[in-house]
Structure formats: structure tokens, C-alpha cells
Structure 1
């Protein structure tokens, strides 16, 4: 059943309240009373929608994931057999639009639960894309796909943390997405300036 306008407005107010308060005070210092006061609603209304503040924060992550998946849906269909890096650009653009919510999540607020929810969601989505691409192209994974996907998502999360925190971002979403795409396509040795590397003498970590 679709939510009515009043419900959507109430939930938006609660989400804005917790994000603003957590950025100001830190998650542990924020109470339900603080959230309801900032959102100008009653405690009873809060509990009609959420069990506690962790549930509210988790829902923020899920809503962001749903919004991102909707934006990526058409691109995923087009990219079934190749990699352009445009999905990364879309992720960074979305993060810029929802900067405060992403900052709360990526800082690990809420005992890291929201961050794990975000990483697990991005990993599952990316792994599905990788596996579909392999199926379409006939490629075979050389590395464990779970580790491969988590490494890919981990790079994005770490760069997102760095990119979102300054008031003036160090480069455009398109530019940072291109760097991550080049890293994914060519590898770290290429990115570090090496043209080739002898297979029988791997580098130190």
C-alpha cells in the first residue's frame, strides 16, 4: 500500500532530524526525544514507524540503496556485456545530493551497523552485475567473486569518505569515477607507473 502524503512528510522529517543531530552531536549522544523534538512530532508517532533510532538509521540506508538502484536500473541493462564506469559516477552524484546522510553512514555512526548495511547492499548489487556480465560474455572469474566484489566496493567506500567530507570536494564525480574505472580496468601496477610486471617475481605488499 502506498504511503500517504502525511506519512511521507513525517518520515522525511524524522530522517532529516536524525541525520542533522548525529552530524552535530554524534550518534550516541542523540536521544529519541531529541529526534522527535527536532522533527516536531510526538514520541508515539515515532514509535508508530520505528522501533528505535537504529531502525530509523537503517531505513535511511535502505532508502538510499533503493534510490540508487532505481537510477542504475537502465544502465545495468545496457552494461550487461561491458564496463564503462558510469555506475560509479552515478553513485558519487547520488552521494553528493544526499551528502549528509552518506556522511553519517560512512563515518560508521550507529555502531557501524548502517555502514555494514550499506557495504553489504552495494556488494550484493555489484556481485550480481559481475556475475551477469560473466554469464553474458562467457568470462570466468580468476579470483573469488565475493572477495573481488568486496574489494571493489571497499575502494568506492573509502574514496567516498574522503570525497564527501570537505565542504569543497577535491574533484568532480565524473573525474573520481574515471580514476576508479581506470584502476579497475588497468590495475594497481599500471596506476603506479609500471608498464608490466614479471609473473615470477611478485612485488612486496
Structure 2
């Protein structure tokens, strides 16, 4: 049923779908659908949860190996996951389903990122200059914007390695530098 949902959302959009459309496309009975899900929103929430679980599993080694600062490994793994699960990422990141799956995706990533920022600061005996919760929201928002842009292209506009390198430069040097300006004197 998950595959049917993703295919139909890409074809018609979430709001135009009915449970009957999904069950017909998946070749399952309505009773089977309702034995697992309350409605199409419940199915979409499950699809999003599965995506987040897979992403967390893939990110775990990349985050564990990253003791100090931004290495780019978690972002690289997220881009690889988006490449592997492109259609699911596209429907979530577009805000289908009244934006609820996208909000779930963002909240989950922001919570995990804030926890990692706090843990990394404690491990390295540093005091964050910006609240880790706010910093995580900014970071995740930027990553989501880049991820959506990258995943929406039929052919990614640039290799994942180039995206990560540019984000690493941005993280290390800042927006002022990235815009071509030298540090103010």
C-alpha cells in the first residue's frame, strides 16, 4: 500500500486521493486497508515514519564517527538515502498531506540534531553560542531546502559530493564568505 500511495501522490497529489484509489492501485481490499490504517493520512504517516527510521539507521554510523564539527558525512548519507528513496522524499518534502509529513520529518530531524549538538558540545567542553534547539532548526531547515532542490531534479543538478563540500565550506566560513566577501576589517 505504501508504494501505491507514493505513486498516486506523485501522479495526482495527496488531496485528490481516496482510500479506494489506494486499495485499487495496491490490489488490496478496503477491509485490509482499514485493518492497518484509520485513513490515508495514517498510511502517509507510516510511510514517513518508515523513511525516518531508515534514515536514522543510515545516519547512526556517520554521526557516531563525527566527534567535532561538521564533517559532511551525515549530509552525504542523507543525500544518498534521498537518491535511493527519491519518490518518497519528493512527496514528503513537497508538503503533500497538508504538510504534516514534512513537519514530522523536520521535527524529528531537528530534535535529533539538537541532541547531537548538545552532546558534541559536552564531549568537547564547549558552550554553544546559540541555543542548540534553534541552531538545529536553522541547520535542518537549510538541509531540507537543499535536499528538496536536489531530489526534485530528474538528474541531480550536481553530485552529492559537491553539495556536501559547499555546505562544509558554508558551515566553516559562513554566509558572508560564501557570498564572495572578505571578512570585514
Shared fold, TM over 0.5: yes
| 1:80–1:132 contact (8 Å) kept in structure 2 | no
Q: Does 1:55 align with 2:42?
A: yes
21-30 vs 188-197, greater mean Cα deviation: 188-197
Matching of residues 7-86 of structure 1 within 5 Å: 14-86=1-73
Taking the aligned partners of 1:197 and 1:148, their CA distance within structure 2 comes to 24
Taking the aligned partners of 2:46 and 2:22, their CA distance within structure 1 comes to 15
| 1:89–1:177 contact (8 Å) kept in structure 2 | yes
Shift of 1:80: 2.7
| 1:26–1:109 contact (8 Å) kept in structure 2 | yes
Q: Does 1:193 align with 2:184?
A: no
What TM-score do the two structures reach when normalised by structure 1? 0.87
Deviation digits for residues 48-67 of structure 1, max 9, x if unmatched?
11111111111111111111
What TM-score do the two structures reach when normalised by structure 2? 0.96
Structure 1 residue runs of 4 or more that deviate by more than 2 Å after TM superposition: 80-83
Return 5+ residue gaps in structure 1 as ranges: 1-13, 199-205
Give the SS at the match of 1:29: coil
Partner of 1:147: 134
Shift of 1:81: 3.1
Taking the aligned partners of 1:186 and 1:61, their CA distance within structure 2 comes to 34
Match of 2:147 among 160, 170, 195: 160
Partner of 1:203: none
Partner of 2:83: 96
Taking the aligned partners of 1:196 and 1:36, their CA distance within structure 2 comes to 59
Partner of 2:165: 178
Deviation digits for residues 20-70 of structure 1, max 9, x if unmatched?
101111111110000000001001111111111111111111111111111
| 1:80–1:129 contact (8 Å) kept in structure 2 | no
Shift of 1:155: 0.6
